[in-house]
């Protein structure tokens, strides 16, 4: 098992037994799902989005918007739920977003959002699970 600083630690074998192959590739190997293919791109029910790896609440539906980029987009995360990491892969300089509890890759954040935050958290649908808000 790799040493890490996250409270939730699992071996690759444990992650593979918990996640489907695409989710493992995205969450644990920092992959990306194809645009416009994810379950949550055009999903706008009221509730919260949780890390598929550990269940940590990451985003509220109140911060979700349609960016047209093909991935679920949020203008902010739940405070303290996301870790930010410099990513210079693929010849670009970006900011990777990871679950602060288990280190699972969520996607990237950009400063081109349309709301007052100016942020666009571009998240892979396979990185999150949705829980509807109960009235």
Q: What angle do CA 114, 117, 120 make, to 5 degrees?
A: 60
Residue 73 β-bridge partners: 65, 122
Q: Which DSSP state fits 133?
A: P
Rounded CA gap, 74 and 19, in Å? 24
Are 121 and 97 a contacting pair, CB within 8 Å? yes
122 annotated active-site: yes
Residues in the chain: 135
Max Cα distance, the chain (Å): 46
Catalytic residues: 122
């Amino acid at each position: 098992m790799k040493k890490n600083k996250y409270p939730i630690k699992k071996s690759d074998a444990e992650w593979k037994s918990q996640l489907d192959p695409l989710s493992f590739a995205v969450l644990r190997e920092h992959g990306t799902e194809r645009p416009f293919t994810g379950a949550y791109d055009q999903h706008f029910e009221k509730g919260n989005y949780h890390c598929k790896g550990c269940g940590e609440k990451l985003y509220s539906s109140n911060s979700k918007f349609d960016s047209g980029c093909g991935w679920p987009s949020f203008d902010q995360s739940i405070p303290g739920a996301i870790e930010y990491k410099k990513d210079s892969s693929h010849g670009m300089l970006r900011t990777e977003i990871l679950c602060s509890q288990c280190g699972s890759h969520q996607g990237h954040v950009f400063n081109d959002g349309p709301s007052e935050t100016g942020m666009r958290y571009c998240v892979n649908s396979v990185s999150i699970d949705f829980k509807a808000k109960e009235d």
